[in-house]
Amino acid sequence: MTGAEDNGNGPRTSNNLKARRIALDTHQEPVIITRRDCPVCRSEGFSAHARVQLEARDRQIIATLYQIDSDLLEADEAALSDSAWELLGVEEGELIHLRHPLPLQSIGGLRGRIFGERFSRDSMRAIIEDVAAGRYADIHLAMLLTIMATQPLDDAELVHLTEAMIEVGDRLRWKRSPIADKHCVGGLPGHRTTPLVVAMVAANGLWMPKTSSRAITSPAGTADTMETLTRVDLNLDDMQRVVEQENGCLVWGGAVRLSPVDDVLIRISRVMDLDAEGQLVASVLSKKIAAGSSHLVLDVPVGATAKIRSRADGERLAGRLAAVANAFGVETRILLTDGSQPVGNGIGPALEARDILAVLDNSANVPLDLRERSIELAGALLELCGAAEPGRGKTLAAGSLDSGRALAKFVAICEAQGRFSQPPLSCQQVVVEAARRGQVRRFDNRRLARIAKLAGAPAAAAAGLDLHVHLGDPVEIGQPLYTIHAETVGELNYAREFAGSNGDIITIAADGEEAP
Amino acid sequence: MTGAEDNGNGPRTSNNLKARRIALDTHQEPVIITRRDCPVCRSEGFSAHARVQLEARDRQIIATLYQIDSDLLEADEAALSDSAWELLGVEEGELIHLRHPLPLQSIGGLRGRIFGERFSRDSMRAIIEDVAAGRYADIHLAMLLTIMATQPLDDAELVHLTEAMIEVGDRLRWKRSPIADKHCVGGLPGHRTTPLVVAMVAANGLWMPKTSSRAITSPAGTADTMETLTRVDLNLDDMQRVVEQENGCLVWGGAVRLSPVDDVLIRISRVMDLDAEGQLVASVLSKKIAAGSSHLVLDVPVGATAKIRSRADGERLAGRLAAVANAFGVETRILLTDGSQPVGNGIGPALEARDILAVLDNSANVPLDLRERSIELAGALLELCGAAEPGRGKTLAAGSLDSGRALAKFVAICEAQGRFSQPPLSCQQVVVEAARRGQVRRFDNRRLARIAKLAGAPAAAAAGLDLHVHLGDPVEIGQPLYTIHAETVGELNYAREFAGSNGDIITIAADGEEAP
């Protein structure tokens, strides 16, 4: 054979460019920009929007290539986005090596699954390893999630997925057992029980090292809410220190790299506006198992406009969660709860945080539904872990709220995490009033969540909405139904417009009239 | 209600930035870069990687936002990628208005389809209109194509998709009838019959205004091959002029905006390395129907390593193509052909062009299989259009080759399109030799195509491979099997490595031995 010296796999003697940081924020997407006349691109045949493998020191990543015709860059320079810069760990002027990425073998597993094969342990692991290494383009990630939504994973595949997601991340080991955990399969606005459950459970001596997600398609996740009260981006060491000191913590799962693939999948799900069941189960359980949880209470709210719309769906999902949890030796108890209306009054990070503090404070305006739901969950967890006799868990949990022990524990946890502060207040509000007289008969949870998101939640922490009525309440014309909160005028108006053209989000029926 | 003046939908009195062109090539993806401290982003809550609607004059597009911390830009400036610049049609310094894109209603149709609903005419049209307007992110496009692959479209949905793809593009009307057309459902390397069929059919007086695609997952599409011989990026007016003058043309479909959505879907399919059947049918037929074709011959090669692997699959696909074509009043004839080995010797744009010229020239080294296949297709088309009696089409087609009339017509078409030139030659070659003695028993078409792509095809026009043997040929140890052609050393070596570790791409069996 004839041929040449550098085959692209050998030593990095050619195809090198000098790294330049241009402080370009592309969020998670690694981007590299070169001159169009850059000799490396010409010799390798790289064109704009190509995916290119970058190598420096012992790291390699895949980035999207853009090309520029200007003297902002020299021909031997490559500008990196902040995300590429951090993943690659280079310094200004350091040489980076460019090459064609090898074909992704794991894509074959995706294609096979489309045409009727099942994911094996190996094929699933190969896929998740490629995702974790950033080798999948958004297009591949969307393929994976769409396949999982259209042709749901069976139990064996779900165990493979969960296992693979655990294996590519860090894993916590605790000095004590049991390790208590809870999770709510979302879909209900507000409903921020987790911080209260951690406070009650930790106040009763159990360890509950809680990691939570940010919102996927909802106006707030527990991590978004907690961030208005304390630091949530703790690393593993800090998290362990907080738990050893205070029995519990409330941190963002993404920062501790438990199941890091989950956050990548969440970013894509958010754009797709879709949660695939398989992703949901693996997302929940991979984080619980990686966090070392041994006992798990699952809250599944069921309601016509909740994520889970019928009891049958709720039981099916609960069954899948329990089956996979059991495969990893995790004890579970599943509570199907009422999902017909928001729990608590606030929807949005800071407004939900305010409700949590009201419950802990036993203040006059405590949202009783949030208090009751939290007590129910904490009680179930205390019983599951053997910290309360069967049937006595709720009493024990409620006692820690009433005595102020849960509040003290919550504040101590926040302070151990870095600070305890009051949630921010919004600077823009508008009140939405009842257009008719009657009784509150139905809430459209999805569209309520939509208003809160249009108002800026969760990115704008103080944004969201505050409910002034609940199911069954009598209302008069002009009585406030809810207040929209926003941080900018533009967002307030998006939300207000949507509310104005969706007058039936809260159904009000006259006495004796059937709700439509 | 309280609130403010600018609701984001009103006059563009605020939220404006000055457009700057920075000659940034991002291929099809519209990108906007602002300063991170840009007041519009702060007031609207735009963060990096957000999708933002840009408006200028009467146009609006959706772009991906990146943010930069540097004084390359002023706080009131926005840098646009070339793609965004062209779609928006602005001038340097012109004001562009930024706003949150409205939620894409058509995504609801995708979600519904995942959960068992069918696409209606309206839901499909809404989706394709959003795709055509650039409102879909890659993630949404991948969702659409994955759904179509996992849960294939039924005939009604396929008609809706085809119709929608036609309606968002231009449409040709011709002064004559019939309008002849052919299409090959690819998967077989080489096999570049289209230019020969156009030459023979046009030489016999029929109109054949051919638009072709670039490669999706293959080493060359007809448009890639023709581009090595002539201009293919003609607009509609030029295309019509060529056809009126010469009876036929061979242009790139993307340049004439027939079914423009097809090229968007092709870009995504290429990354997914997957052709969904529904996309394939709609892609083929939307372009044919938009091009005004009335009579269509479809070539479906069937072989173990072709795209269509069994006669049953071929007949099923042919049936779907014929059913949808009939719904639009297009007469079709479908030929299931031998897909067991490449047709012609060259694989890759320039190498296939060389084979075409050899057939037209009646030169000594004419690839007889390519000549025969082309005559068969041209004959079927002449008969279908009534230009030849049943059973006489092949004789008529062959006669135009033998007489040189087809060559003269081909050259005239190329010249009318802008130039007729010889295809480029590669500067890097390596010969792959037989490792054993015996008879050629089998070709792995997929891996042959893979070698050609690793060598740089289709982006590198002269790259690909040149076969020196065919099925049944006897070979000695050391006898050349094929030559890999590349334009760069790096690409040559990628292809050579793959060939070296895949010695069974061409199966050679000793006499009397069964092929494995």
Give the pTM: 0.80
List pLDDT tens digits, range B312-321. 989 988 899 9
**Separation in Å, CA of B418 to nearest CA in chain A:** 26
Structural contact between residues A33 and A67, judged by C-beta atoms closer than 8 angstroms: yes
- What is the structure's pLDDT at B8? 41
Per-window interface: B 55-114 vs A, CB < 8 A: 66-70, 72, 81, 99-100, 107, 111, 114
Q: Which of A102, A146, A264, A430 has the highest number of chain B CBs within 10 A, making it the mutation to test binding with B? A: A146
SS3 track for A432-451: EECCCCEEEEEECHHHHHHH
Structural contact between residues A487 and A423, judged by C-beta atoms closer than 8 angstroms: no
Closest residue of chain A to B478, computed from CA coordinates: A1
Tokens 């946890």 — which residue?
A413
- What is the structure's pLDDT at B516? 52
* Tokens matching residue A330: 């995790």
Closest residue of chain B to A275, computed from CA coordinates: B111
Measure CB to CB from residue B459 to each of A8, A47, A140 and give the nearest one. Answer: A47
How many CB atoms within 10 Å of residue B235?
A: 12
Tokens 């070698």 — which residue?
B451
User: In chain B, what residues touch A31 (CB-CB under 8 Å)?
Assistant: 66
User: In chain A, what residues touch B493 (CB-CB under 8 Å)?
Assistant: 3-4, 6-8
Question: Inter-chain contact A3–B429, Cβ cutoff 8 Å?
Answer: no
Structural contact between residues A37 and A4, judged by C-beta atoms closer than 8 angstroms: no
Closest residue of chain B to A463, computed from CA coordinates: B45
Name A421's Cβ contacts closer than 8 Å, sequence gap at least 6.
A228, A229, A230
- What is the structure's pLDDT at A13? 62
Q: How far apart are the first and last CA of chain A?
A: 79
Q: Which helix (H) or strand (E) holds B21?
A: strand B16-25
Q: Mean per-residue pLDDT for B9-28?
A: 80
Residue-wise DSSP of A185-221: ---SSB---HHHHHHHHHHTT-BEEEEEPPPSSSS--
Structural contact between residues B211 and B252, judged by C-beta atoms closer than 8 angstroms: yes
Residue B247: closest CA among B196, B288, B202, B291: B202
Name A358's Cβ contacts closer than 8 Å, sequence gap at least 6.
A365, A366, A367
Residue-wise DSSP of A362-421: T-TT--HHHHHHHHHHHHHHHHHTTSS-TT-HHHHHHHHHHTSHHHHHHHHHHHHHT---
- What is the structure's pLDDT at B4? 35
A493 near B CB under 8 A: yes
- What is the structure's pLDDT at B187? 62
Alpha carbons A222 and A171: distance in angstroms, whole number: 21
Question: How sure is the predictor about B454, in pLDDT bands with cuts at 50, 70 and 90?
Answer: confident
- What is the structure's pLDDT at A405? 98
Question: How sure is the predictor about B36, in pLDDT bands with cuts at 50, 70 and 90?
Answer: confident
Question: How sure is the predictor about B514, in pLDDT bands with cuts at 50, 70 and 90?
Answer: low
B33 near A CB under 8 A: yes
SS3 track for B203-263: HCCCEEEEEECCCCCCCCCHHHHHHCCCCCCCCHHHHHHHHHHHCEEEEEHHHHCCCHHHH
- What is the structure's pLDDT at A14? 73
Is B395's pLDDT higher than 50?
Answer: yes
- What is the structure's pLDDT at B243? 96
A/B interface, count of CB pairs below 8 Å: 209
Sign of the CA dihedral A104, A109, A111, A114? negative
Peptide bond into B152 cis (omega under 30): no
Question: Inter-chain contact B49–A26, Cβ cutoff 8 Å?
Answer: yes
Residue B340: closest CA among B468, B483, B251, B448: B448
B224, B262, B275, B355: the catalytic one is B275
Closest residue of chain A to B99, computed from CA coordinates: A490
Closest residue of chain B to A15, computed from CA coordinates: B490
User: In chain B, what residues touch A272 (CB-CB under 8 Å)?
Assistant: 107, 139-140, 143
Q: Is B275 a catalytic residue?
A: yes
SS3 A110: helix
User: In chain B, what residues touch A274 (CB-CB under 8 Å)?
Assistant: 111, 114, 143
- What is the structure's pLDDT at A494? 84
Highest mean pLDDT among A442-446, B8-12, B325-329: B325-329
- What is the structure's pLDDT at A12? 59
Instruction: Indicate the DSSP class of residue A158.
Output: H
Per-window interface: B 255-274 vs A, CB < 8 A: 268, 271-274
Alpha carbons B34 and B50: distance in angstroms, whole number: 12
Measure CB to CB from residue A114 to each of B49, B142, B149 and give the nearest one. Answer: B149
CA atoms within 13 A on the CB side of B287: 24
Question: Inter-chain contact B497–A9, Cβ cutoff 8 Å?
Answer: yes
Question: Inter-chain contact B81–A100, Cβ cutoff 8 Å?
Answer: no
List pLDDT tens digits, range B491-511. 899 899 889 988 889 999 986
Mean predicted lDDT score pLDDT of chain A: 90
Sign of the CA dihedral A18, A24, A29, A32? negative
**Separation in Å, CA of B243 to nearest CA in chain A:** 33
- What is the structure's pLDDT at A295? 97
Which residues of chain A carry a pLDDT beneath 50?
1-11
Alpha carbons B212 and B255: distance in angstroms, whole number: 10
The letter for the amino acid at A246 is E
* Residues of A designated as active site: 275
- What is the structure's pLDDT at B1? 35
CA B400 from chain center: how many Å?
29
